[in-house]
Amino acid sequence: MKRNKRFLRARFQSTPHDSQIQGMLITHDPLGFLEEDQWWEVYFEEGQWPTVEAALLHRLEQEGLEAAYELETFDQQNWNQEWEDSIQPIRVSDRFLITPSWHPVESEDGVTVLVIDPKMSFGTGYHATTRLMLRLMEGLLRDGDRVLDVGTGTGVLAIAAVMCGAREADGVDTDEWSYDNALENAQRNGVADRCYFRLGSIEAASGQYDLILSNITKIDNLQLLPTIIHHLRPEGRLVLSGFFTHDAADLQMALENLGLRVVGEMTEDEWSAVSAIRDIA
């Protein structure tokens, strides 16, 4: 008699080093990720976990990092239901509602419904930074804008921009799973002809943009800012998130030192997002 596989969920407490930890785990081919505000989750077959955990703990020790996590296992027959039940429709702002394709919702006047099925990439709307990016984007996006989404993940920000009036949106991401997922989600939302996704970091971007969105870590934002601004048109707008509230001042100072004018900040729980404009010199 064939035994059912068992699966494992590792639930990690959010820290400023999430992207590094997630990068370590991605090399072991997880089944999927799910993001929340205070926690994020990764799924594996149970038999994989001892090897994954040993490698993870070794890397954390080498890097001088710590990670708090909880483990839960469940049977194969519960896997699909467990995964799908964990992702529900969520209203992220006055304008946007995000739902997976297996939970169809009726549209309302003035509400844009984004159908986003996560693969192994982030951007389901469950994380505060995704919501903050969408809320700030609402006030800055203009009809006909050309938009760049740095670290596009599921493609949710690029897709939302096009569905709300952008002429086109480019999304870049270094993760191949995210690249594939973003393409699929653009197709689901009927905007594949105006969303262009590229595998790579900011160097994969082309030309200049009216609006740039960057929901990555504090360290990555600081490192990429000079190149990001090189791709921002005069009078272009920029929205950054992916960092904690106590780090917002560092991002604002970096923006001002690079000649941008900070025009907004929004917070939710311990997370922040800032927006800025590149004034004409």
- Asked if the structure places residue 94 within a domain, the reply is no
Q: Which residue range(s) make up the domain with 220?
A: 127-277
**CATH number (domain holding residue 67):** 3.30.70.260
Per-residue pLDDT of the chain in tens (281 residues, 90 and over written 9):
345 678 898 999 988 788 778 878 877 878 777 777 788 888 888 999 999 999 999 999 998 989 999 999 887 656 666 667 778 888 988 889 999 888 888 878 889 999 998 765 566 777 888 999 999 999 999 999 999 999 998 999 999 999 999 999 999 998 887 899 899 999 999 999 999 999 999 999 999 999 999 998 888 899 999 999 999 999 999 999 988 898 999 999 999 999 999 999 999 888 899 999 999 86
Nearest CA to 43 out of 22, 60, 57, 63 is that of 22
Task: Report the sign of the C-alpha dihedral through residues 67, 149, 187, 105, in that order.
Answer: positive
CB atoms within 10 A of CB 230: 10
Mark which of 85, 106, 138 sits at the end of a domain.
Answer: 85
Whether residues 140 and 54 fall in one domain:
no
Same domain, 49 and 164: no
pTM, two decimals, is 0.80
In this prediction, residue 2 carries a pLDDT of 43
Is 71 a member of any domain? yes
CATH of residue 258: 3.40.50.150
Domain assignment present for 99: no
Name the residue with tokens 């519960």. Answer: 78
In this predicted structure, what is the pLDDT of residue 53?
96
- Residue 92 inside a domain? The answer is no
Residue 141 lies in a domain: yes
Instruction: Tell me what pLDDT residue 1 has.
Output: 38
- pLDDT at position 76: 65
246 and 153 assigned to the same domain: yes
Residues 67, 182: one domain? no
- Say how many domains are in the chain: 2
Same domain, 147 and 246: yes
- Looking at the fold, whether 134 and 256 belong to one and the same domain comes out as yes
Q: So what's the pLDDT on residue 80?
A: 63
pLDDT of residue 88: 84
77, 211: one domain: no
Q: For residue 171, which phi and psi values (nearest 5 degrees)?
A: -125, 135
Domain boundary among 56, 85, 114: 85
